[in-house]
Structure formats: structure tokens, C-alpha cells
Structure 1
């Protein structure tokens, strides 16, 4: 299906979700649906509690595989939450897969303060110098290689102005947030060269189910495991710091990478705390 047709499927799905009516979706005969890494029946979970969709809406698509991606927010009775959605559409235009990540801070083990959800022109624009699908996946996986056991080595390419937003929190080039996380005043590559994320032991179950070549966007899913044993550690600049995470812990994430001119230019991630070493139900399919 072409982009316009895929976006129409997304619009119909979002309209149904906004109304809390899963029966209005054009489902395939045996669709697979998950919310926060747990398989659910159609109409369960957020379908029963949604008040409305938020104003932030980023969409992208993979016409080669029938994949659709969406980053936005969902408003429920208690709060507005960061929201990621991945759909897969079959050859008949029916939704065969729906994977949601909803970052409800009231349920989270790690709350990043003052989330702001806004349109980022770099993510809306087409890539000026597109890369091949294989190269886009390689650069995205290289980001995860850089993050895993972060020792200061870089296994991907960052644009000098690369930015990252996590659960609506600006975590790069934002010195005003340095009192919350010390490295937020730095750029993407500078942070990783420092080796600040040494406490990330493993980035497993990596999937890259959607690659929008025209827009230069890769959507990825995976888990970050922390065994919690690391206490004090030394950065590459010689400074000693203490780990933020001191218990067995895992994040389940949905992440997008904007790639242009062979470099990662923007990162947006939504992640939630899940039981340590929790598996993905999608890996068993």
C-alpha cells in the first residue's frame, strides 16, 4: 500500500481509538494486539479508559512492509501520557498487528519531570539525503550498540546537532535540565563518549519493524536491562559518579531515529519499567 492509503488506515484507527470503539477498526481475522508488552484482546486496556487523543501527532509509514508508526499522547482520567503506536496492515488493508507503548507516569518506576509534547519539524520533513534501508537499520542498531555497556566507544554516526527526547523530556542540549540529569546539557555524541550510561548492561530483543525511507525514520523496539550491581564508576574524563539504578530493572521501549546524510539527527523514545528480563510476546511469533 502507498503512504496515503496507510495513513488512511491510521486515521480510521485513531478515530476509533479516540472514541474508545475497537469494533470500528477494520481488523484482520486474527489480529495481534499488545499494550505495554502484554498481549490483550481487542478493545481491552486503553480502549476502555481513553478520554481523548492529545494534540501532538507524529506519523510515518513503511509502504514496503505495510507498517505504520505514530507518536503522540493519550489523555485518560488521571493524566496525559506519552504514546507510541505501531500498526501492521495486510494486503487487504486490514490491521493485523497493533503494538502500543503508553508511558503512564502514575505507574512508572522512573518519572522524567515536566514532559513537553510538541511538533519537531525535523521529524516531519523528508530526508534530504536518504540512506538505504540496510544502512538506516545499521545506524539505528549502532546506537543501541553504543548505549549497551556504554564505554565511550561510538558505533554509529551522530549529526553534530543531534537531539534526543525521552518520554517528552529533552535529554540533550538542554542545560536547564542539568540539575535533574547532569548530562542533559551535552549533545548526543558527547554524552556517549563520556560513558555516562555504563549502568546499561544489555539492550536485547531489538526489532526494527518499520523503516520509512522517504522520511528517514526508523522505528525500533527493545529492552534495556540493568542488573543494578554497578555502584560508583569512572567516566572517560576521569570523574567518578554513582549509578542511578541500583536494583534489577528493565525498560521496554519504542524509539525512532531520524537519519539524514548518513547520520542520526533526532531521537525520540518512549519507555516504561517492566519486570527484570521480561520477554517480548512479539519474539515468540
Structure 2
């Protein structure tokens, strides 16, 4: 998008991106904003948001999740760190900062943006927590930003607010798919960049860059790096916002979202030879990034960046109404008015093959068909459609099964996927109406490992007490594939009672078969289902011992013939209670948990559960509940 440099002619969307509100706030100058920032951080470590002047409808966002103010980091922040880099924007009454603090005794990089209303009350708080203790340690050693960031630029030497943003936007346009033949003259010849406190330009130490094995990229300057095309694995940079523009210091505090769709398989040559993309980029990734830019004249002179991972396709909480492209119907396919079990199973097989082919043309799609992946709506064909190379087959492979409910026109799949080299367990729901597919929902719990160059571990999240690293799951328990008896009208209340039991950590009122067993991420242990839920003994289900709410409960499919319910829920772990877990694992988290629940003769006899880590407070885009 070409920016209009005349603010008075800007569109409402552009005004939002530039950090303006429709009701322009009354003045809060630099000292006022800096004092507000200090007061905010003091209130944070005191766990007391009541100290702050907030508007009645204040919006608090933490790692792209909308939370009640006072939850999340507010419960576990311990002490403030030494490093603090503040950006003040009196024109929009906003202040931003890159700083450090400790949570549960572990140092983190903490980014915050605060916006005031016309009454000087806080109307928005946007935060990003980068749980990189090493990076936070580098910042602690720096103590303060490089002096040039803090210098006031004489008015005669300043460029306009709009030009500051326009030049900054060129950085993102140049990085997106990173054309090596692009014009990158917007970089100052002496430009340097920090990433989590680490200088990643003009380095001569021979260290590899990021997840890659390349040892030459970090030795180059900013412009030379872009001229390699090395950053082309960043396939899209969206939701670009420039909310804090510090005109006095000629700096821009920018917030964006980076998508890596997993289709780029090779890094260009920098040191003479190209190299394969690291395993981390086997699957689609989205990174929420905050970057500060200091300009010298019209050139980018200094860049300070920090980021964290969010679910692929996650949109900004401040641009949540951005439309998502939807699939369109293939009108040449004739629809039938009913779809029995055999019909549903056939449609499932067609969808699985379409995913493998990344081609929807063979499918009968309803107008405005909706597709989601791990709770985010995506364009049909995006996400795992572009990365899956194999899917285990029901009736052929050991760990694969299909489940159907002709009454609701729903069919589901549970089995193993492989994206490039990364394994996953896919729970797939397909809704059919009058022979056309109206909804496709995918939940893919991918194997997480900490191998070479970071492995495949989701960035900046703690390992789970029970982590699936891609080890064999063996055979899916045959009971899930067998027909069942005693599956009646009490089955759904039974599932709800089971989810209540998970929330209360009590099996009272949950009807488990005496021989019931449960697996989480492939691990079963020796406890019965009821003992495990009650947290007795050395429970292998320890990742649920500190959890609170079990919410966003949804039934994906109910197969009455097989006596199987596939349910998914969000389970919150605020990381508050004393625990034997390492401090690095005591991080507010939400677990997305799809699970197979086998019901026989009015009792639950088997549970097969996969656990996917999500940022604390994460909510699925689907709103149906039970």
C-alpha cells in the first residue's frame, strides 16, 4: 500500500495505523508519558492495576490475546530489570517501551504500549512478552540503549511524522519475500540491528544467524543483508502498525505480524552455498514482532527488534475485524440433499486427498465455506494444505480413524500427518450441508523438539511436563474403531461432566469405567482415569495439576455407532500455585486439547488426548459451545 504523506487526506484505517484516535487526546508531553510508563511498570510488579488511571473500557492485550486487566503477567511479575528504552508520542498520547523484568524469578524481555484517551485515562495496554532469558540477560548487561536513540534531533533536521512511517514501512515491504534485486537504499550505510539484544549485523565472530547454519549473513550490513534475498522465508508481513512515533528523537515504534507459510525450503547462498531451511520452518509459523527504528535523515540507522510466536494466522487484537479470504463454491458439482455415513466417509477421503494435493477443485464447497487451523480462520488452501506431505489412512495405518454423525452431517478424522520432516496428530472436522462442505476445522498438534538450530519447538514457549517429540504413538487403541453399545442420550452430559472434572480436579460425578485408561501426548502411566483426574500419586497428567478454567468446550463429532466423541477445550494454566516444576515452565499458558472419548455402557472407558500449547487466554475463532 502506498502511504499518503498528507495526514489530512488519510483514510480511517491509515489513521489507526499511524496511532491516531478519532477523538484526539489532550496533551501529555514526554515527561508525562515517561512518568506514566514508570507508574505502569511499578503497578505491574505490585500486581495492582487499581493504581492506574484506566478508562471503563480499557483494553488489555498480552501476546495478542485480550485478557482482563490484572491477569496473566500481572499475577507473576516479580521485579523490574535494568534495561528500559522508552518512546514517547505526545501527538497521539501514546508511549511504548522495550524493557526487562522478572516473572517467577526468570528474566524476560517485556514490550508495552500504552494509549491514553482525551481525559488522560489509559484506554489501551498492549504487551509482548519474549521469554528469552539469554536475550533478557544481554539487555541487562547493556543497562540502557545506545546513546543515539536518546538524542533529541534539532527541529530543522527532522523529517515529518508521515515520512518517518513511510521509510519504516519500506523495511517490511523489502523483507516480505525479500527480493534480492530490490531497492534497499533506505538503509543508512552505518545501519545496525539488534534482535533480543544481540547485534545481528556487521558481526565478524562467525556465529550462525538465528535458526540457520549460515555464518556469513550476520557479518553483512543492513542493506547487504537484504540484497542476499536470505530473508525470503518471511512470506508475508501484515497488520503493520506504527502507533508510537517519537518525532523528537526521530524514532518509530512499530508492531507487525510475520507469516512464514512453510513453502520456502532453501536459504539463498550467502557464503557461497545455499542451505536447506531449518526444521523450525517445516510448518506454518506466525511471529508477533515489535521493532523500533531510529532514522538519520531519511535513512534507517538503528533497528531494535524482539518477537514471539503466536498461532499461525493470528491477527492483531487491534485489527480484529480484518476480513479473511474464504473459499468459494465449485458450482459445477451437483449437490445431493442427504449424506449418510458412507457419503460422509467418502467426503472425508476427498478432503484428505485434496489437502495432500493442495487443490480444492475436486471438492463440493458451499458458498463462503469456512476453514480454520488451530482456532484461526485461514483462506482455504493455506496453512497445512501447503506443507503436508503424508497423512495416515483409516483402515490402513495403525494410528488413523474416521468418525461420522449423519444426523448433523459431520465427519471427523484423527491420525498422523507429516509436514516436511515434522510429525503431527491431526483432528479434522468437516461439516456437510446438502452435499456441500460448509466448514473444515483442523487442529494439528505437531511434534515439538529442541534439536539442531532450535529444532521444531514453538518459539518462546516453555516445554510441557508431558511433551510429544514425535516418538511413535503405536497403534490407536482398537476400542476407538470398534462399534459400541450403551451410547445414548446421556453421553453428551457424561462428556460435559468429564470436562467439569478436569476443571475441578475431581472425578466425583464423572462416570469412568473401572478399567478406563487415558493417554496424554502418547503417555499413559499407571494411574486409572479417576486417580489421574484427582491428581493422586505421581500423576503423569501433571501438566493439568495447576490448571483452572476448562473453557471453549466444543464437540467436533459424535459417532453413536462407535461410541466416540471428539471434543476440544481450552484449558488455562495461570502458573500461580507452588509447584515442583522448573521456574522456566511456570509461565501462564493455555492448552488446546483435542481428545477422543470412548463411551461404553454409559461410562468412559478410554481417552486419547493431544495437548497443544497456546498463549495464555487463547480463544478459538469458533464460538459454538456445550
**Equivalents in 2 of 1:195, 1:113: separation in Å?**
29
Write the deviation string for residues 228-247 of structure 1: whole angstroms up to 9, x where unpaired: 12112434887423223221
**Equivalents in 2 of 1:242, 1:116: separation in Å?**
31
- Of structures 1 and 2, the larger Rg is shown by 2
Write the deviation string for residues 5-46 of structure 1: whole angstroms up to 9, x where unpaired: 222222221221132211111111210110100011110111
Which residue number in structure 2 is paired with residue 22 of structure 1?
49
Q: Tell me if the contact between 1:131 and 1:260 (Cα under 8 Å) persists in the aligned partners.
A: no
1:197 partner SS: helix
Which consecutive unaligned segments of at least 5 residues does structure 2 have?
A: 1-26, 322-626
**Equivalents in 1 of 2:136, 2:39: separation in Å?**
33
Following superposition, the deviation at residue 177 of structure 1 comes to 5.6
Q: Tell me if the contact between 2:100 and 2:136 (Cα under 8 Å) persists in the aligned partners.
A: no
Tell me, yes or no, if structure 1 residue 277 matches structure 2 residue 303: no
Following superposition, the deviation at residue 210 of structure 1 comes to 1.2
Change (3 A) 1:113 1:32: closer
Tell me, yes or no, if structure 1 residue 165 matches structure 2 residue 200: no
**Equivalents in 1 of 2:71, 2:208: separation in Å?**
39
TM-score, scaled to structure 2: 0.43
**Equivalents in 2 of 1:112, 1:6: separation in Å?**
26
**Equivalents in 2 of 1:155, 1:179: separation in Å?**
23
**Equivalents in 2 of 1:154, 1:112: separation in Å?**
31
Q: Tell me if the contact between 1:222 and 1:254 (Cα under 8 Å) persists in the aligned partners.
A: yes
Q: Tell me if the contact between 1:142 and 1:156 (Cα under 8 Å) persists in the aligned partners.
A: no
Q: Tell me if the contact between 1:130 and 1:259 (Cα under 8 Å) persists in the aligned partners.
A: no
Where do 1:31-180 residues align within 5 Å? 31-105=58-132, 115-117=138-140, 118=142, 119=144, 120-127=146-153, 129-152=157-180, 153-155=182-184, 157-176=186-205, 178-180=207-209
**Equivalents in 1 of 2:229, 2:81: separation in Å?**
36
2:148 partner SS: helix
Tell me, yes or no, if structure 1 residue 265 matches structure 2 residue 301: yes
Change (3 A) 1:223 1:173: same
**Equivalents in 2 of 1:73, 1:236: separation in Å?**
34
Write the deviation string for residues 29-65 of structure 1: whole angstroms up to 9, x where unpaired: 2101101000111101111000111100111211111
Which residue number in structure 1 is paired with residue 380 of structure 2?
none
Tell me, yes or no, if structure 1 residue 218 matches structure 2 residue 252: yes
**Equivalents in 1 of 2:206, 2:161: separation in Å?**
35
Count of residue pairs the alignment pairs up: 281
Which residue number in structure 2 is paired with residue 253 of structure 1?
289
Change (3 A) 1:4 1:75: same
TM-score, scaled to structure 1: 0.92
Which residue number in structure 2 is paired with residue 205 of structure 1?
239
Which residue number in structure 1 is paired with residue 600 of structure 2?
none
Following superposition, the deviation at residue 267 of structure 1 comes to 0.6
Change (3 A) 1:56 1:113: closer
Q: Tell me if the contact between 1:61 and 1:68 (Cα under 8 Å) persists in the aligned partners.
A: yes
**Equivalents in 1 of 2:122, 2:200: separation in Å?**
34
Following superposition, the deviation at residue 113 of structure 1 comes to 9.8
Q: Tell me if the contact between 2:174 and 2:184 (Cα under 8 Å) persists in the aligned partners.
A: yes
1:139 partner SS: helix
**Equivalents in 2 of 1:176, 1:114: separation in Å?**
19
Where do 1:231-242 residues align within 5 Å? 231-235=265-269, 239-242=273-276
Q: Tell me if the contact between 2:78 and 2:102 (Cα under 8 Å) persists in the aligned partners.
A: yes
Which consecutive unaligned segments of at least 5 residues does structure 1 have?
A: none
Q: Tell me if the contact between 2:192 and 2:301 (Cα under 8 Å) persists in the aligned partners.
A: yes
Q: Tell me if the contact between 2:191 and 2:222 (Cα under 8 Å) persists in the aligned partners.
A: yes
1:44 partner SS: coil
Which residue number in structure 2 is paired with residue 188 of structure 1?
222
- Over the aligned positions, Cα root-mean-square deviation in angstroms equals 2.1
